Every structure is written in C-alpha cells, then in structure tokens.
Amino acid sequence: MNYVENKTLVITGASRGIGAAIARYTAAMGARVVLSARSEAAVTEIANEITAAGGQATALACDVSDCDQVSALMDHAIQVFGSIDVLVNNAGVIEPIARLIDSDPDAWGRIADVNYKGVYHGLRAAIPHMIGQGGGTIINISSGAATSALEGWSHYCSSKAAVFSLTRCADKEYRDQGVCVLGLSPGTVATDMQAAIKNSGLNPVSQLDPSAHIPPEWVAKTVHHLCGPAGMTFAGTDFSLKSRDAKVQVGLPVS
C-alpha cells in the first residue's frame, strides 16, 4: 500500500541522515517533498537529485529554532505544492555532549531551541493549514532518551521528553479536527550523530558496536507506514522501532 503518493511532506533536518532518507524514499513513492535544513546548499542538492530522478521536490533554508522561518517554510510548501499533508519534525542535535556541571549554558540552551522549541514551532505553523484542508499527519522524531537518564545527555534526554509531552498535548487538542500527531522512536541509527556519541565515551550508547545501528532507510520506511492507518493507532504516543513486532508491522528485517 502506498500512503504518500500525491501527498506533500515537509521534512526538517533533511540535509543528511534520517531526514534525507525520508525525502528520497517518500519522493520515490510519489510524494511531493519539501526539504529544509539550515544549509540551503545541502537540501537544494538533494532536491535537485530527486527532481532529476523524476520526483517532485523543493528546498528551503530553515532554522527551526526561529518561529518566523518555520512559518515561512510552511507558506513555501503551500505556495509550491498547495498542501501540507505530512510534517516530519526531524531536525535535532546532540552536541556538545557533557555532564551537567561541565556543560556550556548557551550550548545547552541551543539544544532546547532546536530539539524542543523547533518541534513546537513546526506544530504551531503546520496545524492551522492541516485543519483548513481537513486533516494531516505530524510525525515527531522521538527517542528512547525521552524516558531514559543517560550520562552526558541531560540536554538531549530532557528535550526529547519535552517533545513527547508536546506530542501528547497536540494530539489531545487537535485529533478531533483531523490532525494525527505521533512520535517515532527509531532507536540508534547509523548517522553522523553516532560519531559524536562515540567520541564522547560517555554512557553505554557510546560503546555500541556500529552493527547495532539501523540504517536511516528503515526510519524512512517507518515514516511511510505511519502515514497510513497505523499513524492514528499510535496518535499521542511514540511508535518504537526497537521491538520485533514494530519491525514486522513495517516490513523490516528482524533478527
């Protein structure tokens, strides 16, 4: 079943890793994709690649910590493709990793601005468009860190916990108006973020063998799955890819 054909997906943090994989996979499935990241050159390159392959894509620079830039991103999606059917709040950072008393307050706050407030800005900007068109789906990329306490990750764990709370609140406020809001917790993914985690040497995640990390394409396939009826099943909660049952649902390999 194809759940994204002829739908418009707005993807933040789409210059690499999970976001880029989502853009490429859903575009190949016939979606119209709007890629955003702070680096306009990077997302434009991927958008051009998708277009050259026969897909539909556009790109716009956007710092999700800036409310006005996020609003402009949604306006751009409407202007180019006429709708916002799916928003994937993927933009997120983890550096610098440090224990609480060793952390830099400005850097710690920047994590909150991107990981937490960035999701708030996305919800606030996209939901009115979705209500106006009769509905839509918002997938907030979550993490097991939302319910964990990991050494050196106070900024990341607390920001992901805040995102989970935003997911629940948005679901309560807008489900009855046709907006499905849910989280996707993929586990550890083979992206550039893993290099920073490994180099920190803090907590068990930094000690994981690279073979433990799933490819970002698995997350992209899961996003597609959650754009269908399964999304509403998990509205207001997190869909965790760490379980065998979840992988079976999506059609991913299981060990």
| Active site (catalytic) residues | 156
Instruction: Give dist(CA 246, CA 238) in Å, integer.
Output: 11
Q: Which long-range contacts (C-beta less than 8 Å, at least 24 apart) are formed by 251-255?
A: 251/221, 251/225, 252/218, 252/221, 252/222
The vertex-159 CA angle with 173 and 214, nearest 5°, equals 100
Burial 92-130, CB ≥16 within 10 A → b, else e: bbbbbbbeeeebeeeebebbebbbbbbbbbbbebbbebb
Q: Which long-range contacts (C-beta less than 8 Å, at least 24 apart) are formed by 150-153?
A: 150/202, 150/203, 150/204, 150/205, 151/99, 151/202, 151/203, 152/97, 152/98, 152/99, 152/200, 152/202, 152/203, 153/94, 153/97, 153/202, 153/203
